[in-house]
């Protein structure tokens, strides 16, 4: 109980400092999520359209995903130095795998008869992709996006170790100064931020599925 009181006192006494770290963390994560989401979607579409590249590209994403985050940040220092750029690039590299994989699975796991029917009605390959395959794969892609967002917010805590800011600063200082309440406070805020993002995306995903079911029901 005393420990939690110390944490609460920290939040009360250093509210502005924690708010600044939170803004930095959100900005760092948002930039990485936006870029990785776009690149991952495009790469997923590419490998779904040209499946011979799928084992190579998805294999690379899987291998990179196994590299410890702190090690990847270290490997990028000779190329990008320390700071936000290094952290954002590392987060993008990590975030690509869920998006590429889910986009690929969503686009390739569609009943071939539906695609043939669309083409039989005169739709081009691009029209079939945009108007049939992507809408049908959206729920799977959203699941990948949800996983990617939570992972990016969590891993962004490591960015403080190379001077990129964010809530990881509280964790790093807590460890350096042997201040467990400070370490816990930083970790708690990261966990809560990831949880809020997951809940919001979960609501979007659920709403889309409901809308999709209603649209399908109306067509029938």
- Per-residue model confidence as pLDDT tens digits over 135-154: 888 888 998 999 999 999 99
Confidence bin at 216 (pLDDT 50/70/90): low
- Average of pLDDT values for 87-102? 89
Extents of the domains making up the chain: 2-219
Nearest-angstrom CA–CA distance, 108 and 102: 10
According to the model, what pLDDT value does residue 218 have? Answer: 55
Average pLDDT, the chain: 86
Q: What is the pLDDT of residues 23-69, one digit of tens each?
A: 999 999 999 999 999 999 999 999 988 888 888 888 888 888 788 87
Task: Read off the pTM.
Answer: 0.86
The CATH number that domain 2-219 falls under is 1.10.3720.10
Q: What is the pLDDT of residues 105-118, one digit of tens each?
A: 888 888 777 777 87
Which of the listed ranges 14-18, 107-111, 208-212 does the model predict with the highest average pLDDT? 14-18
């Amino acid at each position: 109980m005393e420990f939690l009181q110390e944490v609460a006192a920290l939040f009360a006494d250093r509210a502005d400092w924690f708010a600044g770290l939170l803004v930095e963390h959100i900005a760092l994560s948002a930039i990485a999520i936006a870029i990785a989401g776009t690149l991952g979607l495009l790469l997923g579409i590419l490998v779904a359209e040209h499946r011979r590249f799928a084992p190579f590209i998805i294999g690379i994403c899987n291998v990179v995903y196994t590299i410890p985050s702190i090690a990847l940040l270290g490997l990028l220092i000779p190329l990008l130095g320390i700071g936000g750029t290094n952290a954002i690039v590392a987060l993008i590299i990590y975030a690509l795998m869920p998006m590429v994989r889910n986009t690929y699975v969503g686009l390739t796991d569609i009943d071939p008869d539906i695609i043939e029917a669309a083409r039989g009605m005169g739709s081009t390959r691009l029209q079939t992709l945009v108007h049939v395959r992507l809408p049908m794969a959206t729920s799977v892609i959203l699941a990948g996006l949800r996983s990617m967002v939570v992972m990016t917010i969590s891993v962004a805590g490591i960015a403080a170790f190379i001077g990129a800011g964010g809530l990881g600063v509280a964790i790093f200082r807590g460890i350096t100064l042997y201040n467990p309440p400070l370490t816990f406070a930083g970790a708690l805020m990261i966990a809560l931020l990831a949880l809020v993002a997951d809940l919001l995306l979960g609501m979007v995903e659920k709403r889309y599925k409901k809308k999709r079911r209603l649209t399908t029901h109306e067509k029938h």
